Amino acid sequence: MTLDTALAALLLFSAASYLALGVRLVFANREVGTVPMSLLFVVISFWVLGGAIELLSTSYFAFSIGRTGHFVGSAFLPVVGYVCFREYIGKKTSVHRITMLLTIPIVSVILAATNYAHEFMWYLPATNELGQFLTRPVEWGPWFLFVHLPHSYLVIGAGILALLTHTTAVARSHRRGIFLLVAASVGPLGATAAYDLGYGPTTISFVPFVFTLMLPLYAWVILGEKIVQFSPLAFETVFQNMQDPVVVVDSDGRIIALNHRAEALLAVTETAAMFEPLNAVICDGSTEVFEALDTGEPRKMMTQTGRFLHVQVSEMDSDKATEREGKVLMFRDVSDVEKAQAEVRANEKMLRTLIDHSVNGIVRFRWEKENEKEGDEDSESKFLQCIFANSAAARFLTTSQEELVGASADEIVKLASNAMNPEESADIVNEFRSASTAAERIDVEIRHEAGGAGKWLRMIVEPFGDDIAVTFVDITDGKAKEQHMESIAASDPLTGVLNRRGFERDASKRLRDSADDATGALLFIDLNEFKIINDNHGHEIGDQLLTIAAKRLRKSLRSCDIIGRPGGDEFVALVPDVTPEVADKLAKRLTAALEEPYRIGSAAHNCAASIGLALYPKNANTLTGLLREADQAMYRAKARTRGAEHVHSDDLLEKAM
């Protein structure tokens, strides 16, 4: 491998890296400066690629392609950099200006691609006496010297100047990004200037190698420092977009700045008010402003339109002796606050009456020191004590308002949740403590009981200033309706037993809650002749038969057994806490009961049932496993009796293997 080939490979890798960096910015989250910055790296990629092609060229045509890539970079990079730098500091570049700036670069690229015909960009020959292609010509052409070169340096210089002049208008934390951008531009700009002035070799363009050396720096600036994610915001932009009127005066009381809100407040433009004494702009009746300036203490004033303003003054501190001193006046409109406070004061008695007669229970707690009664002022231990309780709260908690006021929050929460088990009540108390300490809102349901009557309460805890407010809402009726709806959703409307969803819910819970050594059984029942009866006699007869079958199931099994109808002519039953012998006895009793004729109207219908019996934990220890084993056993019993004229009861029952 020759040296030219190795250097070309290095430049190709650098060009690919710049292209990848640009593509990454394009597909990243849209931030200020992302698109121009990505185009910047794409243009650099073309420039470096052109240098690689120049090194590998063996013909003038290939060399011309490399030269064109060089001029694509040198022509478009200043314009893209200019737009990128301006957008970074928050200044948009109009489409019209961009179009004007791109005119000369486009012409330069066209002239470079066709230079052999006119020599406007550089004069021929393209090779030296050794036959090597010249990457810097012996003499530049008129278009390059008098149009392309001045345009490129003026545009990129304007972009860098915009960055540097912006440093004093942004926060110090944002100046680092601007200086990084300027520093990253110095190396390539200096190398390009040296190349244009005739320094360096004439057969190798060294500017692409400078970009290759700068690649780690650019990658660090973009990926490490994430410079495009932190666009600086000018102080002037912040100042003018503040919602409150702001006036800045110097040490002599003259106005040196005011924002748009202040212009509207004082009915004067910034230009007209500049360097005017403050007392000449603000009416003589506004003595509060000058009192605030003299004392440094906030003041409240009323405007001629009846609005209340809060006036606050702060000193302008500076660590530079050359900067003038002054004061900043901020006017905040507090009219709505004043009006609200006045209304609260005027209606406080009415509000208290409304709260006291509210249908919801309302309790207010205040933080008190634990050892305050003992006079321990240094104690940091605090607790919540009830300072107010309305009549509804006392009624809900079956006590008096006098008993509630003065009680601790823990005592009231325990009283409110006295119908819950001790562990659940303790969890509610702990949750209340955590939420109160963190000033967070919680909404929980609790159960209270007194005199044998229980009620469901919704307890809403939320901060109220420095205090904690608790609202109790009686949800007993809603809870009963909710439970009724859940019961309907889990029940079979025809037979009254559980449907598939309800059976799986209750049976799974029963199995989960069973002891490790618990035993039991699951029965899978199928009514053999149901389909024939239903088809021949109609759905009404079929529905009555299913209802009678469900009643026989309830009568034959125990009240603690869980019975369900998955669908059609099938029933299932979980028989917990029984030995295999007892389970077998219950299954046989059920088989006999279901063999009895079904008397519906004046007719009697025979509809025996095939039953599969699965034991747990012998056959399976999960509901899914028990259902599978019992279902298979039931189908074996059904197959054994299918087509038989005389069926014995024992043939209708099959145990899981």
Q: Which residues are catalytic?
A: 569
Question: How far, in Å, are 161, 263, 278, 359 from residue 259 at the CA level?
Answer: 27, 6, 15, 51
Three-state DSSP at 443 gives: strand
25-34 long-range CB contacts below 8 Å, 24 or more apart?
25/222, 25/228, 31/228, 31/229, 31/231, 32/87, 32/88, 32/90, 32/228, 32/231, 33/84, 33/87, 33/88, 33/228, 33/231, 34/228
Comparing CA positions, the residue from 120, 123, 130, 111 lying closest to residue 203 is: 130
Contact in structure between 349 and 457 (CB atoms under 8 Å): no
Q: Indicate the SS3 state at residue 390.
A: coil
Percentages (nearest 5) of helix, strand, coil residues in the chain: 55, 20, 25
Are the CB atoms for 81 and 90 separated by under 8 Å? Answer: no
Q: What is the distance between the alpha carbons of residues 193 and 638, in angstroms, rounded to a whole number? A: 98
Which three-class secondary structure string do you get for 165-219?
Answer: HCHHHCCHHHHHHHHHHHHHHHHHHHHHHHHHCCCCCCCCCCHHHHHHHHHHHHH
CA–CA distance, 331 with 309 (Å, rounded to integer): 6
Six-digit token pair at 67?
A: 């030269």
Do the beta carbons of residue 49 and residue 71 sit within 8 Å? no
What letter represents residue 384's amino acid? L
475 within 8 A of 445, measured Cβ to Cβ: yes
State the first-to-last Cα distance of the chain, in angstroms, to the nearest integer.
Answer: 78
What token pair was written down for 452?
């044998």
State how far the Cα of 230 lies from the Cα of 228, in Å rounded to an integer: 6
Per residue, what are the HEC states of 540-591?
A: HHHHHHHHHHHHHHHHHCCCCCEEEEEECCEEEEEEECCCHHHHHHHHHHHH
